[in-house]
Structure 1
Amino acid sequence: MSDHSKGIFLTLGSVVFFALMAVLVKAIPNVSSYQTTFFRFAIGVGIVGLLSLFGVIQLKFNNRKGLFWRGLVGGIAVYLFYLAILKLGVGKGSVYIYSYPIFATLFSMLILKEKVEPIKFIIIAISFVGLILLSVGGGKGSLAGMGIFELIAIAGSVTTGLAVVFVKKLHNSDNSYAIFFSQCIVGFWMFLIPSGATQAKGNLTELLLLVLVGVVATIGQLFMTEGYRYVNVATGSLMQSMVPVFNLLAGWLIFHEVYTTIEMMGAFVIVGSCFLLVFVNFRIGKRTRILKLVE
C-alpha cells in the first residue's frame, strides 16, 4: 500500500470512529462534559500505556514543549466539542466543530508557512457565511440570535484547527503515539479535578458508555494522528468534513433533532466549502506535481 493510500485509509477510519464517538457522547446527556473528556483521556492513557508496556509501540518524546502545547490545546478542543454536542445537538454541534478546516488552513499558513492560494481565501470567506447562517438560523434570524453555546462551538472549531496544525508540525520530531499520549496525559491532569467536582450519580450503562467513548475516541485519534504523517493539513483535516454529514443524519434519525431551513443552508455551505477546499488542494498538488501536498 502506498503512503497516499495508507493516509487515506487511516483518515477515513478515523472519520467512522469519530462519528460514532459523537453519537455515544449525546447518548449520555446526564454526564458532564468534564467527566466525558476526562474518561476519554484516561482511557487513552491506559490503552497507549499498555501497548507501550508490552512493546507493541514505542513512546519517545523529543519536542517536549511542543507536545505539551499540543496536549493543552487539544484538551480544550475536546472539551468544547463535547459541550457543543450536549448543548446544540450531535448534528449542529458537529458541524460547528468540523468547520475547523477553515482555521487549520489559516493556521497552517501562519505557523507552518504552507502556501495558501487566493482561491482558498474565497472558499474560507464563503465558509464564514455558512457559520453565520448556522448560528442565526435557529434564533432570531440575526446575529443577536447567536447564543453563548454557538460562540463556544466556534471557539472549539478554532482550537481544533490549531491542534491539528500542532499535530502536523510535531510529526517532524515525534511519532504518532507520542503525540497522542501527550494529549491524553496533559488532558488527564487538566480535567481530573473538574471531573471530580462535577461527579454525578450514574448507572452501569452510563459508565460503560463513558468507557466506550474513550475506546472509540482513542482508536479514531490514533488513526487520525498516524494519517497526518501521509497527508498535509488541508487534505487530512478536510476529509474529516464527512463526520458532520454522518452526525447530521444521526441527530435526525436517532435523536430526532430538528433543523430549520436556514440552519441546513448554513450546514450545507460549511460542509460544501470544506469538500471544495479538498478538491482545490488536490488539483493544485496534481498540477504542480508537488506530491507531498496531497500525499
Structure 2
Amino acid sequence: MQQDKLGSGWMVVAAFFLTLMGAGVKTAGNRFGMHLYELVFWRMAAGVVILGGHALWHKRDFCTRYPKQHLWRSLAGTAALLLFFYGMLHLPLGTAVTLNYTSPFFLALLSVLLLKERPPLRVWLALSAGMAGVVVLLQPSFSAGQTWDALLCLASGAGAGYAYLKVRELSLLGEPAWRIVFYFSLTAAVVSAVAATAAGWHAPDWQSLPVLLGIGISATLGQLALTRAYHVGRKFTVSALSYLTVVLSALLGAAFFGETLGGWDVAGMILVILAGIAGSLR
C-alpha cells in the first residue's frame, strides 16, 4: 500500500475547510439574516446526501442493533451543533470556536463521572488548565454583556463531549463510523428542518445559495479530511494541529468581520490550546 504523503497534514486541510464553514455561517447570518435552524439544516443535509448516497452505492446495511444508543448520540450532537452555530452568530468567531473546542475536557470529565475512569495526573492538570483558559476567555464576553451567549456556546462543548462519549460506546459495540455519522446527520437535518419550518424559511437566491452550499460542502470536506488525518497521521501531531482551526477562525474573524480580540481573549485561547495539546500526549 502506498503511504499517504500528506499524513498528519490532512488536519491542516480540515482546519481550512472548517474555518470556511464558520465564515459561511457568519456570512449567512449577518448578511442574509438566516437563523441557526436553517444553517444547521444546510450544514447537515450535505452529509446525509453524500453518506447516504455512498452507502447505497456500495450496498451497505443501514440497519442497526443499537437504535437507542444512536438516538442519544444523535440528539446530543444535534443540540451541541445548534448551540455552536448560535455561538458563531453571536460571538467573535475565534471565541465561539474555542469554546466549542472544550469538548475534550468535558469528555474527560464525563468519563470520570459516568464511566468511573481514573485518568492520570497529567490529564487532570490539562483539564484544570483548560477550564482556567475558559474562565479567562469568558471574561470579555461577560464584560460586553454577552454572558448568556458565551455560556450557551460553552454548553456546545459539553454537549459535544457527551456525544463523543456515546460515539466511543457505539464504536466499542462494533458500529461502523459511517453509520454513526449518517444517523447523526439525519437526526440533525430532520430536527433543524422542523425547527426552521416553525421559525420560517428564507428562500435561497443567487446570492445566498452559494454561501449555503459552501457551508455544507466545506463542512463535509473538513470532516472527511479530519477523519483521514486521524487514520493516516500521527495522533499527537493531528490533535495539536486540530487547534489550528481556532487560530484561523480568529484571524478570519478579524480580517473579514471586523472582530477584535483583546488580551484576555488571546490568553484564554492560548491556555485552552496548550491544555488540549497536553491532554493528547501519550
TM-score class, shorter: 0.7 to 0.9
Structure 2 residue 75 is the aligned partner of structure 1 residue 80: no
1:92-111 deviation digits (Å, cap 9, x = unpaired): 11111112221122234445
Cα distance change on mapping 1:112 and 1:182 into 2, 3 Å:
farther
Q: How high is the sequence identity, in percent, across the aligned residues?
A: 24
List per-residue Cα deviations over 1:193-239 (Å, max 9, x = no partner): 21123323553221221122112222333444576678999997665
Aligned ranges 1:252-291 → 2 under 5 Å = 252-278=254-280, 281-282=281-282
Task: Indicate which of 24, 43, 46 corresponds to 1:43.
Answer: 46
Over 3 Å counting, the alpha-carbon distance change for 1:2 and 1:66 in structure 2 is farther
Q: Name the TM-score, length of structure 1 as normaliser.
A: 0.81
The C-alpha deviation readout for 1:3-46, integer Å capped at 9, x for no partner, is 99998466554333322211211121221111001112222211
Cα deviation, 1:69-104, whole Å, max 9, x if unaligned, reads: 111111111111111011002111111111222112
Aligned residue number for residue 247 of structure 1: 249
For the Cα contact (< 8 Å) 2:44–2:188, is it kept in 1? yes
Shift of the 132–2 alpha-carbon distance from structure 1 to 2, 3 Å rule, reads farther
Conserved? CA contact 2:141–2:147, under 8 Å:
no
- CA distance in 2: counterparts of 1:10 and 1:113, whole angstroms: 34
**Structure 1 Cα separation of the partners of residues 171 and 163 of structure 2:** 13
**Distance in structure 2 (CA, Å) of the matches to 1:159 and 1:2:** 38
Per mean C-alpha deviation after superposition, the further-off stretch among 229-238 and 161-170 is: 229-238
Residue in 2 aligned with 1:194?
195
Q: Distance in 2 between matches of 1:234 and 1:203?
A: 43
Specify which of 220, 223, 247 is matched with residue 222 of structure 2: 220
8 Å Cα contact 2:239-2:277 kept in structure 1: no
Q: What is the distance in 2 between the residues matched to 1:52 and 1:78?
A: 24
Contact 1:44 1:181 in 2 (8 A): yes
Query: In the TM superposition, what are the counterparts of 1:103-142 in structure 2 within 5 Å?
Result: 103-111=106-114, 115-140=118-143
Partner residue, 1:182:
183
User: d(CA) in 2 for partners of 1:25 and 1:250?
Assistant: 13
Q: What TM-score, normalized to structure 2? A: 0.85
5+ residue gaps, structure 1: 283-295
- Between the aligned partners of 1:193 and 1:152, the Cα distance in structure 2 is 21
Distance in structure 1 (CA, Å) of the matches to 2:241 and 2:4 = 13
Report the number of matched residues: 277
- Partners of 2:80 and 2:156 within 8 A in 1: yes
Q: Are the structure 2 counterparts of residues 240 and 59 from structure 1 closer, same or farther at C-alpha, using a change threshold of 3 Å?
A: farther
Q: Which moved more, 1:15-24 or 1:125-134?
A: 15-24
Distance 1:106 1:232, change over 3 A: farther
For the aligned residue pairs, the C-alpha RMSD in angstroms reads: 3.1
17-26 vs 201-210, which deviates more?
Answer: 201-210
Residue segments in structure 2 that go unaligned for 5+ positions in a row: none
Does the CA-based 8 Å contact 2:9-2:233 persist in structure 1? no
